[in-house]
Amino acid sequence: MTAAAPAATSRFEDHVGDPHRYRRLHEVMEAAARAHPDKPAIIHDDGRISFTELMAESEALASRLDRWGVRPGDRLLVVSENAPALVGAILAASRRDVWVIPLNARLTGAEVDRIAAHSGARRILYTSGVSPEAAAHGARAGAEEIDLGALGRVMLSPENPEAMPEPVDEGPGQVAALVYTTGTTGNPKGVMITHANLILVADESGRGRQITHRDVVYAVLPMSHIFGLSSVLTGSMMRGATLRLAPRFDPDAVFRALADEGVTMFQGVPAMYQRLLAVLKSRGQTSIARPHLRYCSAGGSPLDPAVKAAAEALVGTSLHNGYGLTETTSAVSQTTPAEPAIDDSVGRPLPNMAVKVVDTEDRELPDGQVGRLWIHSPGVMKGYYKAPELTAEVMKPGGWFDTGDLARLEGGRIFIAGRAKELIIRSGFNVYPPEVEGVLNAHPDVAQSAVVGRTVPGNEEVVAFVQPVPGRVLTREALAGWVAERLAPYKRPAEFVIMDAFPATATGKVLKAQLKDMAAQG
């Protein structure tokens, strides 16, 4: 049975009005600035920036893009941690119909280069003022240092003369962001997210969280990830809330912010809550100061019931859950203050969204039966960049998107049963086994490898099975060093299992199900 969205509730911020009237992301942010001109839009370690100042700084950066030869339809890659310069670049790109590509600075040089090449980026900005990793990437690229004033210090790459602009859509179907996953093939896969995708999904998810201009949102989820870009950045600021930017997760910084900085909302991934609980346990503490906290949520990976219960006892409020993907601009469903979940439901579809569960023949299944989850939402992507065949695989008649995930519906609520694909979600980041296997297989002493995920409390970790070339000797230490130079930390295996031979079919196909069972047994 199809689960449709609940009836829309009243809006919490009059300045938003009808989100359909905004063509570009910066326009809805300007509406927030007009309503709250002197209110801090951003608080960061070195100061604060008002909504009025942020709009002015983003316009100044847009003028710089003009001088730097970045044209409408060009791609601007931003290698960054969460920083004022990243927020400014997102808004500046919107002002000039440029596609922004937010990219995690903790990726390796090879990963950054691969995405830069695939996207055809005209320029690359590195937020060197807040991220040593971004500065190192910039230095490697021969980038020049630039002071953006209130937005902070950045580095700018040389211009790519071969970059060609894409056509500009004058309506809200213009691409706002190109958000990269690595794809099930191990190759870069750019998800084209439009202005309409971001504005409409952020409006609905923000309304469900009852965000107002009185909220201070702790923004540690990476804005290079769709959760951080859509739900945290766009969903909060368009309703006039203040973002307390954090470049990276640090438990003590979280405790200070909750105690002393007026934070009302904290959004994270399950592994963050587990880390907070572990730190407190190691110190013999059972409580924290959180005088203003009213809302907490977890997303990006499965939420373990035990972690949920312990976190709720710590924060004194419900730990909300939700479901979304990069291809749906994050939120599809979420639990809400009006209807928190006491089980592992990921809530009901947001307003203007619908889901259904289908069998292997694409026939809709009744409540209670597990099948593939399909989504119909204004957040469904424009497509995968330069990959029409991949887009056609997931887009179904009537505008439905096939998530490839397994789920069941019960009374309009969604329960995720598992993933049909081999995707591993590590601390909220997507890890695709073929990419890791490709790196391992490039080692001169590796004959073949197979990578699987292993569930641990509140998270997943990567386990690599490796078969050496006959006559060669492999060590776990050598393999760890090899991947450390080629993969971001969250993609690196937690364990290497060296085997003389893999279980396989008569045709030689590796039986990954058996390996996954072995990994689970430790």
How would you write the pLDDT of the chain (522 residues) with one tens digit per residue? 677 655 444 445 668 889 999 999 999 999 999 999 999 999 999 999 999 999 999 999 999 999 999 999 999 999 999 999 999 999 999 999 999 999 999 999 999 999 999 999 999 999 999 999 999 999 999 999 999 999 999 999 999 999 999 999 999 999 999 999 854 445 679 999 999 999 999 999 999 999 999 999 999 999 999 999 999 999 999 999 999 999 999 999 999 999 999 999 999 988 888 889 888 988 889 899 999 999 999 987 777 787 888 899 999 999 999 999 999 999 999 998 888 888 889 999 999 999 999 998 999 999 999 889 999 999 999 999 999 999 999 999 999 999 988 899 999 999 987 666 677 889 888 787 878 988 998 898 988 888 999 999 889 999 999 989 888 899 999 999 999 999 999 999 999 999 998 887 544 568 888 999 999 987
Give the per-residue pLDDT at 505: 54
What is the distance between the alpha carbons of residues 374 and 338, in angstroms, rounded to a whole number? Answer: 25
Residues 6+ apart with CB under 8 A from 217: 211, 232, 236, 241, 242, 243, 244, 263, 264, 265, 266, 267
Going 494 to 500 to 504 to 508, the CA torsion angle's sign is positive
What is the distance between the alpha carbons of residues 155 and 518, in angstroms, rounded to a whole number? Answer: 46
Give the per-residue pLDDT at 509: 65
Q: Are 69 and 76 in contact (CB under 8 A)?
A: no
Give the per-residue pLDDT at 343: 83
Going 5 to 222 to 187 to 157, the CA torsion angle's sign is positive
* 493-506 core/surface letters (b: 16 or more CB in 10 A; e: else): beebbeeeebbeee
Q: Coil, helix or strand for 520? A: helix
Please report, to the nearest 10 degrees, the dihedral formed by the alpha carbons of residues 42, 75, 225, 443 taken in order: -130
Give the per-residue pLDDT at 182: 59
| H or E element in which residue 74 lies | none
Pairing of strands 189-194, 216-219: unpaired
Give the per-residue pLDDT at 430: 77
Place of tokens 């209110």: 39
Q: Are 415 and 344 in contact (CB under 8 A)?
A: yes
Give the per-residue pLDDT at 137: 98
Q: Are 325 and 291 in contact (CB under 8 A)?
A: no
Going 17 to 20 to 23 to 25, the CA torsion angle's sign is positive
Residue-range domains of the chain with CATH: 3-248+321-406 (3.40.50.12780), 424-521 (3.30.300.30)
Query: How distant, in Å, are the alpha carbons of 102, 111, 122, 123 from that of 164?
Result: 19, 21, 8, 12
Pairing of strands 383-384, 395-396: unpaired
Q: Exposed/middle/buried for 10, CB within 10 Å: 0-12, 13-18, 19+?
A: exposed
Q: Coil, helix or strand for 215? A: coil
